[in-house]
């Protein structure tokens, strides 16, 4: 049975183009379209789509407000279609935090630019969205940890995430104390969004969160997020780690790649590292996590029941790279316990 999609965008031309793109795949059927949230509300009830493609800027009711209402009264998978602008990035991140499964970036001046790539992304993410499970939205619980954890630059936490990772990372980083080990993160996301994502997390967390630049040291109480345009790896200078950003082809289908980061952590940090692989489609990070474990690092995978998409963690488990499988809400505490165990050996 085809995946039934409703396209919501105030631009008639955008609706037509998105419909054409989705029509390229025989497993997807666009059952209707809507120019605003009010028309969309009626068409959702009438047409019962499986997935929504939702614009973020619309008249009468903006996409974020509509999304929040939808998740309360009629939760269903939503893929945002957002412009690569500063405000577009900020709004898209808010949408992901409000329950959207994923987003597809479009050029804000010309939708036909990079049309083939956008079509591939859109088709893949609509199919992916149709498979996800939605959870009841809850207020995050604040976690408190022992402030006497050892402060050492020798310990490092590396995290890889994809679909659903924006919310998962907010929960994990928001629970980290100011003296936690330095953290390096690859979240699959275009370069136009990673800086805004880091700023959003920084405003919500006790620790400092920022987009990484080549040469940045991995410091206690700081999380560095890879720029969406570059691979990120760690290197070591004496007892200090620093990050290096680089060009190159996609690895495991992605740039930045979790595998690139994890492989470098295995090489330069080894037994002083903790790796965490979170929700996401595909296999990026699975081989790198196996390398980390073989190098003596501790490793955690997010549990299936707490994942939006149990792809990356599943493959990492199958390859033998995972030491423990932990529900999302328990990862921060278990990670800090592991760090303490590492410091005592």
Catalytic residue (one of 33, 83, 162, 303): 162
CA distances from residue 123 to 24, 297, 335 in whole angstroms, order as listed:
8, 37, 36
Q: In the annotation, is 188 catalytic?
A: yes
Strand spans (E) along the chain: 3-8, 28-34, 51-55, 78-83, 102-106, 156-161, 182-187, 208-211, 222-225, 231-237, 240-246, 273-277, 298-302, 324-326
Residues 44-65: b if buried by 16+ CB within 10 A, e if exposed: beeeebbbbbbbbbbeeeebbe
| Cis peptide upstream of residue 256 (ω within 30 degrees of 0) | yes
DSSP label at 102? E
**Residues 227, 233, 239, CA angle at the centre, nearest 5°?**
125
Strands 298-302 and 273-277: parallel
Catalytic residue (one of 55, 264, 284, 303): 284
Q: In the annotation, is 162 catalytic?
A: yes
Token pair for 3? 């995946």
Catalytic residue (one of 50, 82, 188, 231): 188
Distance separating alpha carbons of residues 306 and 17, to the nearest angstrom: 35
Q: In the annotation, is 284 catalytic?
A: yes
Determine if residue 193 is left, alpha or beta; phi over 0 gives left, psi from -120 to 50 gives alpha, anything else beta.
alpha
Token pair for 7? 């396209």
Catalytic positions: 162, 188, 284
């Amino acid at each position: 049975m085809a995946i039934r999609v409703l396209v919501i965008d105030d631009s008639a031309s955008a609706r037509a183009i998105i419909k054409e793109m989705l029509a390229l795949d025989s497993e997807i059927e666009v059952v209707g379209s809507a120019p605003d949230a009010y028309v969309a509300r009626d068409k959702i009830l009438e047409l019962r789509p499986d997935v929504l493609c939702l614009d973020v800027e619309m008249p009468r009711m903006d996409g974020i407000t509509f999304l929040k209402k939808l998740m309360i009264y009629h939760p269903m998978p939503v893929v945002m279609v957002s412009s690569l602008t500063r405000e577009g990035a900020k709004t898209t991140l808010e949408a992901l935090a409000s329950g959207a499964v994923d987003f597809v970036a479009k050029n804000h001046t010309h939708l036909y630019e990079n049309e083939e790539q956008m079509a591939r992304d859109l088709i893949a993410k609509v199919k992916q969205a149709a498979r996800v499970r939605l959870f009841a939205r809850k207020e995050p619980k604040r976690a408190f940890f022992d402030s006497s954890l050892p402060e050492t630059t020798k310990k490092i936490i590396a995290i890889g995430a994809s679909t659903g990772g924006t919310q998962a990372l907010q929960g994990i980083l928001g629970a980290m104390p100011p003296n936690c080990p330095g953290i390096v993160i690859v979240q699959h996301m275009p370069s136009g969004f990673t800086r805004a994502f880091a700023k959003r997390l920084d405003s919500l967390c006790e620790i400092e969160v920022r987009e990484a630049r080549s040469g940045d040291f991995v410091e206690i109480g700081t999380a560095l997020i890879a720029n969406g345009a570059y691979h990120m790896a760690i290197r070591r200078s004496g007892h200090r780690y620093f990050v290096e950003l680089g060009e190159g082809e996609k690895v495991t289908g992605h740039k930045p790649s979790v595998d690139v980061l994890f492989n470098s952590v295995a090489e330069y940090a080894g037994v002083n590292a903790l790796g965490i692989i979170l929700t996401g489609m595909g296999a990026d990070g699975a081989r790198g996590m196996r390398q980390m474990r073989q190098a003596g690092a501790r490793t955690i995978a997010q549990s299936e029941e707490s994942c939006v998409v149990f792809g990356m963690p599943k493959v990492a488990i199958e390859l033998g790279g995972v030491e423990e499988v932990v529900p999302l809400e328990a990862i921060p505490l278990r990670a800090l316990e592991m760090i303490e165990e590492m410091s005592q050996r």
